């Protein structure tokens, strides 16, 4: 009997420092990179022999100290891109909040901003990026064809069981999206279709109350995300998704995709950790997930590694 392969990607949206209410710190700050990646995350991933995936927002590649650190981390990490449209040329500016959904850009504007983001990654790291996530998960009907034309192989903005109308994006609706990787419809990333690239959805499980009438509609889906919850609850989401993937397709590798932001694990740089003990609690939940994967033989790989792993 063959042992079925199981993998975890830890994807980290990597951006400038924010604060309470996600307000962008001005002038731009990068403690979430220098302290967050350099002092907190990289040692933790090293201790667990895990390869993280840092998805880089445009402003990161304009900050010399962040770039120097990321060049050293590139040996032990996967790097990709992350679009916050306000911060990408052409027309880059520093907003009070990174609120844009790229699907609301015109096709030409979305293409132009993704092109400058991709080019700045290439000139910074001397290779092309192959994995991507939209800021605020805001992919739309033009995103996948543009990303494919720029050479991307993995898109990771789909959030199953979620819809984002109340966040300002009516119609950005991933309820019913698969929870395991698939080739997306070119114009509807939340549905399977004929695209060459892979969609790797963020691992999100329905609420345990989802099937209860009325109450179920209000209950929050559970993300594979260390931001909130307990060490037990994040491990439970991982276990459930692995079991569901195995039951649905026993012959395929099972993939988990955890996400959070670099700024979450540095005090005062996001709404999630006001102080050191809250930041440490997020790191402890991340560590619990990594320990579970070590015990269970789940390999922690980069998003860019998945096309080879998923190839038939
Ligand atoms: Zn972001």
Q: With DSSP H G I counted as helix, E B as strand and the rest as coil, what are the percentages for the chain, rounded to 5?
A: 40, 15, 40
Q: Is the pTM of this model over 0.85?
A: yes
Q: Is residue 157 a contact partner of residue 140, using CB atoms and an 8 Å limit? A: no
Q: H helices of 229-296, where?
A: 231-248, 276-296
Quote the mean pLDDT of the chain: 96
Residue 185 lies in a domain: yes
What tokens were used for 187? Answer: 């114009």
pLDDT score of 251 more than 50: yes
Give me ligand 1 centre to Cα 82, in Å: 7
pLDDT at residue 1, as a whole number: 37
User: Which DSSP letter does residue 257 get?
Assistant: E
pLDDT at residue 215, as a whole number: 63
Query: Three-state SS string across 9-66, please?
Result: EEEEEECCCECHHHCECCCCCCHHHHCHHHHHHHHHHHHCCCCEEEEECHHHHHCHHH
pLDDT per residue as tens digits for the range 134-144: 999 999 999 99
Number of other CB atoms surrounding residue 94 within 10 Å = 14
Give me ligand 1 centre to Cα 87, in Å: 11
Dihedral-angle region of residue 204 (phi above 0 means left; psi in -120 to 50 means alpha; beta otherwise)? beta
Residue 92 lies in a domain: yes
pLDDT score of 207 more than 90: no
Residue 239 lies in a domain: yes
Give me ligand 1 centre to Cα 214, in Å: 32
pLDDT per residue as tens digits for the range 62-73: 999 999 999 999
User: Which DSSP letter does residue 221 get?
Assistant: P
Looking at the structure of the chain, the number of domains it has is 1
Residue 1 lies in a domain: no
pLDDT-derived band at 218 (thresholds 50, 70, 90) equals low
- The CATH code of the domain that includes 230 is 3.20.20.370
Give me ligand 1 centre to Cα 212, in Å: 33
Angle separating helix axes 107-125 and 64-73, nearest 10 degrees: 70
Q: CA neighbours within 13 Å on the CB side: how many for 180?
A: 19
Sequence-distant (6+) residues with CB within 8 A of 119 are none
Q: For residue 122, what are the domain limits?
A: 6-310
Give me ligand 1 centre to Cα 215, in Å: 30
Count of residues making up the chain: 312
What tokens were used for 124? Answer: 């910074």
pLDDT at residue 17, as a whole number: 98
pLDDT score of 2 more than 60: no
Rg (CA), the chain: 18
Give me ligand 1 centre to Cα 263, in Å: 10
Residue 225 lies in a domain: yes
Give CA–CA dist 223/234, Å, rounded: 8
């Amino acid at each position: 009997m063959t042992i079925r392969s199981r993998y975890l990607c830890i994807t980290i949206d990597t951006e400038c420092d924010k604060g309470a209410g996600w307000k962008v710190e001005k002038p731009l700050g990068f403690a979430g990179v220098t302290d967050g990646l350099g002092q907190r995350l990289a040692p933790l991933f090293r201790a667990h022999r895990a390869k993280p995936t840092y998805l880089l927002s445009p402003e990161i590649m304009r900050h010399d100290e962040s770039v120097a650190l990321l060049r050293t981390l590139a040996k032990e990490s996967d790097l990709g891109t992350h679009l916050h449209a306000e911060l990408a040329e052409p027309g880059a500016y520093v907003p009070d909040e990174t609120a844009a959904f790229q699907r609301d850009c015109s096709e030409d504007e979305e293409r132009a901003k993704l092109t400058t983001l991709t080019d700045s990654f290439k000139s910074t790291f001397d290779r092309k990026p192959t994995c991507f996530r939209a800021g605020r998960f805001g992919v739309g009907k033009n995103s996948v064809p543009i990303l494919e034309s720029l050479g991307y192989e993995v898109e990771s903005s789909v959030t199953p069981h979620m819809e984002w109308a109340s966040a300002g994006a009516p119609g950005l609706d991933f309820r019913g999206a698969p929870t395991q990787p698939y080739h997306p419809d070119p114009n509807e990333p939340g549905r399977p279709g004929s695209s060459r690239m892979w969609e790797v959805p963020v691992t999100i499980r329905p609420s345990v109350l989802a099937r209860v009438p009325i109450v179920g509609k209000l209950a929050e889906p559970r993300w594979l995300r260390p931001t909130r919850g307990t060490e037990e609850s994040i491990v439970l989401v991982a276990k459930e998704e692995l079991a569901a993937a195995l039951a649905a397709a026993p012959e395929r590798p099972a993939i988990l995709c955890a996400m959070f932001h670099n700024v979450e694990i540095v005090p005062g740089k996001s709404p999630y950790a006001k102080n050191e003990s809250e930041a440490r609690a997020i790191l402890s939940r991340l560590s619990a997930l990594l320990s579970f994967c070590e015990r269970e033989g789940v390999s922690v790989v980069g998003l860019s590694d998945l096309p080879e792993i998923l190839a038939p």
